Amino acid sequence: MYKKKPFFIVFEGIEGCGKSFQSKRLFKNLKKNKIQSIITREPGGTKSAELIRKLILSDYFQKSSKDKFDKYTDTLLYLAARNEHVKEKIKPALKKKMVVICDRFIDSTIAYQVYGKKVNYTFINNIHKTILGNLKPNIVFVLKVSSKSSTQRLRKRKSKNRYDNFSSSFYKKAQKSFIKIANKKKNYYVLDSSKNTNTLEKKILDITLNKLKKDEF
């Protein structure tokens, strides 16, 4: 029997790592275990945040670089979407002592915007202090994937977004960033998802259930 309590789980990784697939599998497995949970994503998760998501994605299909958002404008849009998401969906669910599963969160901003686009970390961190408060994930699963597996999965996608069109060198750099972040923090699990097997799914579920069994986390 699992004690009902607020619990926040995040999946991170580059495109094609299988985080969306594994987050959905975990959600279904928790439901089977009769653990009340919700699944959400970033950018997005609420009506207003999804509108911001569309704005961000459409910007990347602009042909001229002159028509694109400045990197700080782009970052602020992400943070605006996160503010809506945290305020309207994540925190209310946690207050009801639910398990929240989120596809991407703050580490994606650090990996893509800070390491990738060289946006100032302090700039982002100061905003996070205001919009997040003491909110932190209880578990972060960083899915590490081979270039071959990632490329094959992206090719199979029927609809693509801005992230699916980045260069392989960008993805390699982003993946190294995710792993670098994970190595510095507790409750982070770097798992190889090159083969999206039942073994990986079971490992994620086992880690989650073991954490949920504990009275403190």
Band of pLDDT at residue 64, cut at 50, 70 and 90 = low
Q: Tally the domains of the chain.
A: 1
Band of pLDDT at residue 166, cut at 50, 70 and 90 = low
pTM of the predicted model as reported, rounded to 2 decimal places: 0.89
Q: CA–CA separation, 169 vs 173, rounded Å?
A: 6
Tell whether 71 is covered by a domain. Answer: yes
CA nearest neighbour of 204 among 49, 3, 13: 13
CATH of the domain at 68: 3.40.50.300
Which residue range forms the structural domain that includes residue 97? 7-213
Q: CA–CA separation, 116 vs 8, rounded Å?
A: 26
100: left (phi over 0), alpha (psi -120 to 50) or beta: beta
Tell whether 46 is covered by a domain. Answer: yes
